[in-house]
Structure 1
Amino acid sequence: MPSPLTVGVIANPASGRDIRRLTSHASVFPTSEKANMVVRLLAGLGALGVDRVLTLRDRTGVAALLLRALDTHAALAEPQRWPAVEFIDQPIMDSVADTHAGVAAMVRAEVGLIAVLGGDGTHRAVAAHCGDVPLLTLSTGTNNAFPDLREATVAGLAGALVASGAVPAEVALRRNKRLLVRCVAGPNRGREELALVDVCVSRQRFVGARAISEPADIETLFLTFAAPDGIGLSSIGGAWAPVERTASHGLHLCFARNGETGVPLVAPIAPGRVEQVTMRTCERFEVGVSMPLDTDHGTLAFDGEREIELERDDRYEISLDWGGPLTVDVERTLRYAVSHQLMREAAYAASAVMRTASSRGG
């Protein structure tokens, strides 16, 4: 008997609720909407053949609301086909450790892909453990540059087509760049961190509330890509020298301190906050090149959040490569499905299943 077609779902209960709601005009992403997005995702996945979904429990209410929706759906006279939902058995830590452990369990279960509902930080946490399992990215966080802002139902349809192999990987998936930071000397030698969008050397000496919210804090910035219509730190690069995700290079930018001269730029570094920065230099950062970081003081931030307080004897280097996660190109996947009449075939298959079930019932 063939194994059930299985997809993992990571819905970060903390995304869209961080301190940047206090320092900018970003909207809050409520728990109820995250649960609703998972439900809509189930509808898309189930319609095109996904049998099972693995997901995580939480203490904030996403899982509880999902269970309520599943009970309501099961009570319908003629419910649409949804996958069976299973919760991974693991302790709830109320931290990023939940995501790390959950993704590792999904990889061991050989899921066809992992749908991620979160911001840049959530996707970074998933990317650290997903290997070559593709990601279906859905934005629910703050200052998002990496995940897509897209209707979950539509994303679910594309995800099912990818997980089932109906759309070839070379059509549906794209490989992403990443920034890799290594400590090569000092007390933390051997430590490695990755970023999917940006690495910032911040002048703030302490991690504190993590978010980079003041332009004066930015010393150096490395970017994997920079969209002209982006928001967050990557929007600074997009305001000067846009770089596509598919480009063979990134950007390396340095910024002036008080009194230093440079090029003034205006960029939306947070929702509702358009700030001016003074850029001293902007250079291409090539794939495969390693560069030492000026880390005598301050903190290192990854995808907009400070994580490392620099110690005097630590020495770090940064590189850009194509070792980032595979992600689903939803539009390209669905265009292929339409051009190859996969939606019509799915409708015929569903009708055949319904006729078989009806005849057995009679």
Structure 2
Amino acid sequence: MADALVGIVANPMSGRDVRRLVAQASVFPTAEKANMVQRLLGALAAVGVGRVLMSTDLGGISAGVLRASRQHRPGRDAPWPAVEFLDGWVPTESAVDTVRAVEHMVAAGARVVVCLGGDGTARVAARAVGSVPLLPLSTGTNNVFPELREATVAGLAAGLVATGAVDAAAVTRRASVLRVRAGQRDEVALVDVAVSSALHVGSRAVWDPSTLTELYCTFAEPDGIGWSSVAGLLLPSRRAEPEGVALRLGPGGRVVRAPIAPGLIRSVGVRECRVLAVGETVAVRTASGVIAVDGEREIEFGPGVDPSVRLCAEGPWCVDVRAVLRRAAEESLLVEQDGGLP
């Protein structure tokens, strides 16, 4: 379907937070992010996607893709879809850029939005994507929600869904989210909500377990990274399952040695660990402190605010890359017949 439209948003700031001062996290340079986009473009064209909307940034990703597009020669190089770079506003180098880009892509009729970033970028994109399928690719620090997957394969999956070759309803999964309310603030987390007794936001990243008092997770996989790994090593919960996990942290219970960041394993005291049901609202017990969503401190609160956390099933629809390619194999969608693809 030549008129199929895919959106690509790439965060130039992902993978550059303070955790690199205390951990050995991978670095995704600007050039590699631009190369990932180019690999996406080649794969999208291979399965019939005709148009792509690409976010613009001040970090050099869109500039790198633009230079490559000007050097791209039909007939010599593998074909690309027509690429349109979003403009009309000055990038702010903040989450606002991702929200604006995704909103524009959805309004323009994108059938899939591919998001390059970490957990924080995926969370921001999820707020704006609505019912359009989201395919998050990992280029951040703690990459629990986005997949660490080759962009070429992800591009094939996104293209097969966007063109309708594979039914989106059969290969997308609706993620659960944690909704945090604290006074006038309302935030959503895709992976976890951590409550700290620290008094100020300060550095947005959370890497010191000594101040944490409560932890809530949408899912908790034992082979994950970040704070959700604490729950995953006690009460594993697959992301495909609706229930989450709730923990009270501190001394007096079990101690979990968990990978809270790449190369950073810490002992975390857990006083209580239980299943968190869909629709359950939990009142935060900590009297004052800071609440972090998906690893980034967002909300300061004090006495009288009474924050709460609720597990909801109405998160973004996410493309299951493995399911798409399995369906493609079953239906021979990428197998040549009579000299061409079916």
- Residue from 213, 217, 222 that aligns with 2:211: 217
Distance in 1 of aligned mates of 2:267 and 2:232: 14
Matched, 1:46 2:45: yes
1:294 offset after TM fit, Å? 2.3
Match of 1:356 in 2: none
Which whole-Å deviations, capped at 9, do the CAs of 1:112-156 have from their partners, x for residues lacking one?
A: 110011000000000011111101121000111001000000110
- Residue from 323, 327, 331 that aligns with 1:332: 323
Distance in 2 of aligned mates of 1:5 and 1:298: 47
1:350 offset after TM fit, Å? 6.1
Which whole-Å deviations, capped at 9, do the CAs of 1:212-260 have from their partners, x for residues lacking one?
A: 111102110000011111010011011111101122310000111xxx4
Match of 2:134 in 1: 135
Distance in 2 of aligned mates of 1:211 and 1:321: 24
Matched, 1:83 2:74: no
Residue 344 of structure 1 aligns to a residue whose secondary structure is coil
Distance in 1 of aligned mates of 2:234 and 2:204: 26
Q: Is the 8 Å Cα contact of residues 227 and 243 (structure 1) preserved in structure 2?
A: yes
1:295 offset after TM fit, Å? 4.3
Match of 1:199 in 2: 193
The 3 A distance-change label for structure 1 pair 285 and 347 is farther
Distance in 1 of aligned mates of 2:300 and 2:337: 53
Q: How many residues align?
A: 341
1:347 offset after TM fit, Å? 8.4
Distance in 2 of aligned mates of 1:225 and 1:236: 11
1:27 offset after TM fit, Å? 2.3
Residue 255 of structure 1 aligns to a residue whose secondary structure is strand
- Residue from 246, 250, 253 that aligns with 1:252: 246
Distance in 2 of aligned mates of 1:279 and 1:301: 18
Match of 1:317 in 2: 308
CA RMSD of aligned residues (A): 1.6
Q: Which runs of 4+ in 1 moved over 3 A?
A: 345-351
Match of 1:70 in 2: 69
What is the 5 A alignment of 1:86-97?
A: 86-89=84-87, 90-97=89-96
Distance in 1 of aligned mates of 2:91 and 2:127: 19
Distance in 2 of aligned mates of 1:350 and 1:92: 40
1:346 offset after TM fit, Å? 8.3
Report the TM-score when normalising by structure 2: 0.96
The 3 A distance-change label for structure 1 pair 26 and 331 is same
Match of 1:285 in 2: 276
Distance in 2 of aligned mates of 1:3 and 1:210: 43
Distance in 2 of aligned mates of 1:37 and 1:291: 40
Distance in 2 of aligned mates of 1:204 and 1:315: 16
The 3 A distance-change label for structure 1 pair 192 and 305 is same
1:311 offset after TM fit, Å? 3.1
Distance in 2 of aligned mates of 1:198 and 1:311: 21
What is the 5 A alignment of 1:144-293?
A: 144-183=143-182, 188-189=183-184, 191-256=185-250, 260-293=251-284
Distance in 2 of aligned mates of 1:319 and 1:118: 25
Q: Is the 8 Å Cα contact of residues 257 and 268 (structure 2) preserved in structure 1?
A: yes
Distance in 2 of aligned mates of 1:231 and 1:325: 21
1:77 offset after TM fit, Å? 4.2
Which whole-Å deviations, capped at 9, do the CAs of 1:85-128 have from their partners, x for residues lacking one?
A: 11112221111100111111111111011001100000000001
Aligned AA (1:156):
G
The 3 A distance-change label for structure 1 pair 347 and 100 is farther
Q: Is the 8 Å Cα contact of residues 335 and 341 (structure 2) preserved in structure 1?
A: no
1:315 offset after TM fit, Å? 2.0
Match of 1:17 in 2: 16
Distance in 2 of aligned mates of 1:319 and 1:112: 29
Matched, 1:307 2:301: no
Aligned AA (1:263):
R
Q: Is the 8 Å Cα contact of residues 295 and 310 (structure 1) preserved in structure 2?
A: no
Residue 205 of structure 2 aligns to a residue whose secondary structure is coil
1:291 offset after TM fit, Å? 1.6
1:324 offset after TM fit, Å? 0.9
Structure possessing the higher radius of gyration over alpha carbons? 1
Which whole-Å deviations, capped at 9, do the CAs of 1:13-59 have from their partners, x for residues lacking one?
A: 00011111112111221000000000001111110011111111111
1:172 offset after TM fit, Å? 1.3
Q: Is the 8 Å Cα contact of residues 249 and 285 (structure 1) preserved in structure 2?
A: yes
